[in-house]
Amino acid sequence: MKTLTALSESVMDLDLRTPDPETEQEIPHTGVANDHHADGSRIGSLFDANRLDHFIEKDGQRFAGTHLIIDLWDASRLDELGHVEESLRQATEAAGATLLNIDLHYFTPNGGVSGVAVLAESHISIHTWPECGYAAIDIFMCGDAEPSKAIGVLETSFSPGSIEVGEHRRGVIG
């Protein structure tokens, strides 16, 4: 039984079916509130050990992902569309994430760039103000991706005079 669209399967190679712990047969997630495993736990619930949600377990917490808020000051090349795109590609690769699409917009007359790299693990977005040497970047990733590894790529790409990084765990459930 197919549980994903052909596009999702080809792009992300994911399978959202859950094996029944007793029979090892796959049970599709239907979203119906009373779908339960044989042990009584609800299929797809946040506490289902068989759930393939790509939540992270770290330092005794379970959470959806890590969100980095990054400010680059006195940065360069913020008005170069091709350079911004390549920097997003390299940051994605450094973090061990899967790039699905990049969409960027170039603003005139100041040359600012806004856009997003859509990832299987979530996204990297960027908004630049080249006239101020400033870029606002956020990186949100779940699963095995390591968003902090993208920071070095951004520093190399944009040569900021200073960088500020904030980290927030999204979707903490325990």
Q: Which residues are catalytic?
A: 122, 127, 142
* Amino acid code (one letter) for 136: A
How big is the CA angle at 163 (ends 106 and 71), to the nearest 5 degrees?
Answer: 45
- Residue 3 CB burial class (10 angstroms; 0-12, 13-18, ≥19): middle
